[in-house]
Structure 1
Amino acid sequence: MTWQDDAGRDLVRSFGERMAMFVRGEGSYLWDAEGTRYLDFLAGIAVDSLGHAHPVFVEAIATQAATLAHVSNYFATPPQLALAAMLKRVAGTGDGGRVYFGNSGAEANEAAFKLARLHGGSDRPRILALTDAFHGRTMGTLALTGKPWMQEPFLPMTPGVEFIDSTIEALEAAIDDRVAALFIEPVKGEAGVLELPAGFLRAAREITERHGVLLIIDEIQTGAGRTGEWFAFQHEGITPDAITVAKGIGGGFPIGALITYGAASELFYPGTHGSTFGGNALGTAVAGAVVGEIERAGLVQNAAERGEQLRSAILGIDSALIGGVRGRGLLLGVALTHPIAKAVVAAAQEHGLVINAPNDETIRLVPALTIGDVEIDEFVALFTAALRTVEDALLLETPTEVPA
């Protein structure tokens, strides 16, 4: 029996076949059971902000686990209060903001969904989200996810959600005084790292304010410094009513949060929402240490600088398979000229590189925020080798033309 046999027998099939079994990680590298080393440019899908086994992450877990792990939300703990204040500060909420803690991005978006309902009441039954955006796989967040193929097996969805195109014209046409909230994913990561049109977020803020609509921005993949600002909306100089965060703030520990601003911070009242494990001392201590290290080590700026370096390096690769690079900071999508992304991912793994294909024509790169010259140079060499492997395979599959 192999580990593949064990996984096929014992694990649910919703994730498909596991691509490898990793047993150890350090920095931007992973090792499998055979001792093979891989350069990790997926980082747990934008989760491992500090890379693997970072001393700050390890120390935070060990110290807090030996002190106090969990007491429930009937009580407060110092790490919980410290993380809430830290998130409010980097998000720029001011003194009026509040934070709700959950255990994942989906839970953060579920909380935001309920926030929208509380704001809307019976007078504002409409909630808007963008086509092709991704907000989660729970029944509530799936209703916000603009991907019909994902919703179809689970219909009917939670009612009231409408999807609009990512254009300013669509915003103007759809938003009125019966809309409770607009959900926006500032970079559509699962759709292939698709950026919003220029001026879209600023227009969304102006139009939602005009109609009393909550602007809720999903920063689960884009937050924690990944795009070169703490949060992607900060590139546009706007202030939303709420943001959802997860992934990178925990650095590998499961945690999510809803950060609210101004009047939106007063919508929840006792009994309207909760989570047994959300905001526990262990999780908030680890996230506090991770966010603190991102700030101390200047990793937000590093993401901005290394992202541009990585983009230039990719565009410098001599390959007809590369059609361009999308995204910002260390959330990049390599556009391919053929629908061969899965083949590129497989070839990359054979060469010792871990990357991801959110669709057939895009490679997603979300490495640790700690990467530098060494990792980028190694990535270019491995990615080039993977592209060459696929190019050779494509040539072999191209029929030879026979002269007339």
Structure 2
Amino acid sequence: MTAQFSRADFERVMVPAYAPQAFLPVRGQGSRVWDQEGRDYIDFGGGIAVTSLGHAHPALIAALTEQANKLWHVSNIYTNEPALRLADHLVRSTFAERVFFANSGAEANEAALKLARRVAHDRFGEDKHEIISFKGSFHGRTLFTVSVGGQAKYSSGFGPRPAGISHASFNDLDSVAKLISKKTCAVMVEPVIGEGGIIPGTPEFIQGLRELTRANDALLVFDEVQSGVGRTGKLYAYQQYGIAPDILTTAKGLGGGIPIGAMLTTAELAKHFSVGVHGTTFGGNPLACAVGARVLEIIDTPEVLGGVTVRAERIARGIAAIAERYPAFEELRYSGLWFGWQLKSEHAGRAKDVMAAATREGLMVLLAGPDVIRMAPSLIISDAEIDEGLARLERAVASVFPV
């Protein structure tokens, strides 16, 4: 196959904000991807937890094609059937009563943070504006969301940051109690820390946040951009904890590969986003919502959600077996089909070497910092694809850490 463009063209035409792998994916089917040369790769990365139903799922192709032949865009001067269908499913399946659509997780989080401050402003006045989030968290790349995120490497160098933001320690309720006050308008948390290493929140911690926020008239905001839409084995991770947030954000897997995000909240809180207070040009467009509605219909079933746990256990067993033979890793953390494989301290910084070796072996994985291999495969990945991916992973690990 003769390719018109190659990886070398990236430096010629693209802003160098990324460092993509050497090959160019050109086709995907299920949990396999092929490059320009026809070589296949098992996809354990899922486009960073986005391709929740794998590549080229026929039902999503049908939904996209059908809507593409009807209506693409009308703006939010009007509403549309696919947006209402998707919002209705989200409301029926969660704590939420109202939905705001955006184009990404960052936009959904921006909306959530703005709503939290607006509610506090309207109810209590300007002094109640402070936001608490967590060290190691990630909430997006806008100036507001990157400041709320707890990783300085993403927020430094862009001038003054929004004021009133502080960071507690994840899974440490005492650290939150020391920061929260009657000036706090919201606590924003990922129920499972994603970019920071796939670290699940303990039930005591998450439930304690609910109690602290209520005691201080603050809102509890769950960032479920990565953990949502079945990733952990529940439709949303909050459903594992026996509590409900006031605001929840979702994106990534919701579109199965089509850009979409959403903020979910109650009817009472939604009133504070009256006409003109917040908006978006493309959010809630018919194309994205038609696909999102079909994604949710497929995933929000006992068969798919139950299958997440079965598949997760199969992968976890395989990784544990590799770790026994190649003891370079400290621990495996996972929540559903979302894995963080932590390197031992003596191998700090070498996760990138494992990812590069995996690429050479025909396996797509991710990083969560310099010391963690992250995996977020399709929720319906087949047993055959799992087993082949694990075999390729073992060859990659063996090449980096030979015994």
TM-score interval, normalised by the smaller of the two chains: over 0.9
Match for residue 27 of structure 1 among 30, 33, 40:
30
User: Taking structure 2 as the reference length, what is the TM-score of the superposition?
Assistant: 0.94
Q: Which runs of 5+ in 2 are unaligned?
A: none
> Is the 1:8–1:17 contact (alpha carbons within 8 Å) kept by the matching residues of 2?
no
Structure 1 residue 309, shift from structure 2 partner: 2.0
Q: Give me the whole-angstrom Cα distance separating, in 1, the residues matched to 2:19 and 2:387.
A: 32
Match of residue 357, structure 1, among 362, 367, 370: 367
1:140-171 deviation line (CA, Å, top 9, x unaligned): 11111111121111121111111111211012
Confirm or deny that 1:133 pairs with 2:137: yes
Residues 34-53 of structure 1 show CA distances to partners (whole Å, capped at 9, x for unaligned) of 00000000011000011000
Measure how far apart 1:297 and its partner are: 7.3
Quick check: 192-201 or 267-276, which moved more? 192-201
Maintained 8 Å contact 2:340/2:368: no
User: 3-state DSSP class of the match of 1:199?
Assistant: helix
Instruction: Confirm or deny: 8 A CA contact 2:203 2:241 kept in the other structure.
Output: no
Q: Is residue 2:324 matched to residue 1:321?
A: no
Aligned to 1:398: none
Structure-2 residue corresponding to 1:224: 229
Task: Determine the C-alpha separation between the residues in 2 that align with 1:294 and 1:368.
Answer: 11
The structural deviation recorded for 1:92 is 2.9
Q: Distance in 2 between matches of 1:2 and 1:112?
A: 40
2:162 pairs, out of 155, 158, 162, with 158
Q: For the residues of structure 1 that align with 2:244 and 2:5, how far apart are their CA atoms? A: 52
The answer on 1:343 being equivalent to 2:348 is no
Shift of 1:125: 2.1
TM-score after normalising by structure 1 = 0.94
The one-letter code matched in structure 2 to 1:252 is G
Match of 1:400 in 2: none
Would you say the 8 A contact 2:23–2:36 is kept in 1?
Answer: no
Q: What letter matches 1:385 in structure 2?
A: R
Displacement after TM superposition at 1:327 (Å): 2.1
| Shift in Å, 1:295 | 2.4
Shift of the 244–369 alpha-carbon distance from structure 1 to 2, 3 Å rule, reads: same
- After superposition, the C-alpha distances for 1:102-126 in whole angstroms (9 at most, x for unaligned) are 0000000110111011022103021
Deviates more, 1:308-317 or 1:226-235: 308-317
Answer yes or no: is the 8 Å Cα contact 2:304–2:380 preserved in 1: yes
> Is the aligned partner of 1:107 residue 2:111?
no
Task: State how far apart, in whole Å, the 2-side matches of 1:238 and 1:185 are.
Answer: 14
Q: Out of 10, 15, 18, which is 2:13 matched to?
A: 10
Residue deviations 1:213-249 (CA, integer Å, cap 9, x gap)? 1000000000000001111111101110010000001
Counterpart in 2 of 1:307?
312
| Separation (CA, whole Å) in 1 of partners of 2:365 and 2:221 | 29
Structure 2 Cα separation of the partners of residues 11 and 55 of structure 1: 32
Contact 2:235 2:300 in 1 (8 A): no
Per-residue CA deviation, residues 82-103 of structure 1 (Å, 9 max, x unaligned), is 100111122233xxx1000000
- The CA distance in 1 between the partners of 2:338 and 2:266, in whole Å, is 26
1:345–1:357: 8 Å Cα contact kept in structure 2?
Answer: yes
Q: Do the aligned partners of residues 217 and 309 (structure 1) sit closer, same or farther apart at CA in structure 2, a change above 3 Å counting?
A: same
Unaligned 5+ residue runs, structure 1?
A: 396-404
CA–CA separation in structure 1 for the residues paired with 2:377 and 2:233: 13
Q: In structure 2, what is the equivalent of residue 120 of structure 1?
A: 120
AA matched with 1:336 = L
Q: 2:211 aligns with which of 206, 209, 216?
A: 206
SS of structure 1 residue aligned to 2:282: coil
* Residues 231-242 of structure 1 aligned to structure 2 (within 5 Å): 231-242=236-247
- Name the structure 1 match of 2:149: 145
Amino acid at match of 2:397: L
Report the 3-state secondary structure (helix = DSSP H, G, I; strand = E; otherwise coil) of the residue aligned with 1:74.
Answer: coil
Could you tell me which of 46, 66, 84 is aligned with 1:81? 84
**Distance across 1 between alignment mates of 2:22 and 2:157:** 25
Say whether 1:278 aligns with 2:283. yes
AA at the equivalent of 1:322: F
What's the Cα RMSD here?
1.4
Aligned to 1:401: none
Number of equivalences = 390
Match of residue 251 from structure 1: 256
Counterpart Cα distance in 1 of 2:272 and 2:305: 31
Q: What is the Cα deviation at residue 16 of structure 1?
A: 2.3
Secondary structure at 2:400's aligned position in 1? helix
5 Å matches for 1:32-51?
32-51=35-54
Please give the secondary structure, in 1, of the residue aligned with 2:211: helix
CA distance in 2, matches of 1:306, 1:29: 17
Question: Do 1:315 and 1:322's aligned partners in 2 also have CA atoms closer than 8 Å?
Answer: no
Within 2, Cα distance between the matches of 1:309 and 1:274? Answer: 43
Structure 1 residues 60-85: Cα deviation after superposition (integer angstroms, max 9, x where no partner): 11000101111111111111111001
Stretch of structure 1 that moved more, 243-252 or 10-19: 10-19
Deviation at 1:186, TM superposition (A): 1.2
Q: Structure 2: which amino acid aligns with 1:377?
A: D
- Identity, in percent, stands at 39
